[in-house]
Amino acid sequence: MPFPLPIDSEFRKEVVRLWLTDIDDRIGYGHIGDAENSWRTANEIYLSLPPGNGDEDIENALFQARVKLDKLSLRNYEDNR
């Protein structure tokens, strides 16, 4: 994690949501590498939540972002073969 965050779980969840928005923005600009970094940060923050503080919507959004990034990476790989 690049910076210390308050322990408050709701604050951390909001930060993860902001990173998820950042992922979509970076994909929109074609900056896939930066979107990958944003996903890693969002995932790391989410995984740092204490047990019992998960959020199904955030988990689904992280999963969907990962699938989107994997598809873009695969397409880029195939285009450059």
The 3-state DSSP composition of the chain as helix, strand, coil percent (nearest 5) reads 75, 0, 25
Q: What is the total residue count of the chain? A: 81
Say what the pLDDT of residue 53 is: 95
Residue range 37-66, pLDDT digits in tens: 999 999 999 999 999 999 999 999 999 999
Structure tokens at 49: 């939540």
pLDDT reading at 70 higher than 60: yes
Domain range list for the chain: 9-79
Residue range 1-17, pLDDT digits in tens: 456 667 789 999 999 99
Q: With bands split at pLDDT 50, 70 and 90, how would you rate the model's confidence at 21?
A: very high
Q: With bands split at pLDDT 50, 70 and 90, how would you rate the model's confidence at 77?
A: low
Say what the pLDDT of residue 65 is: 97
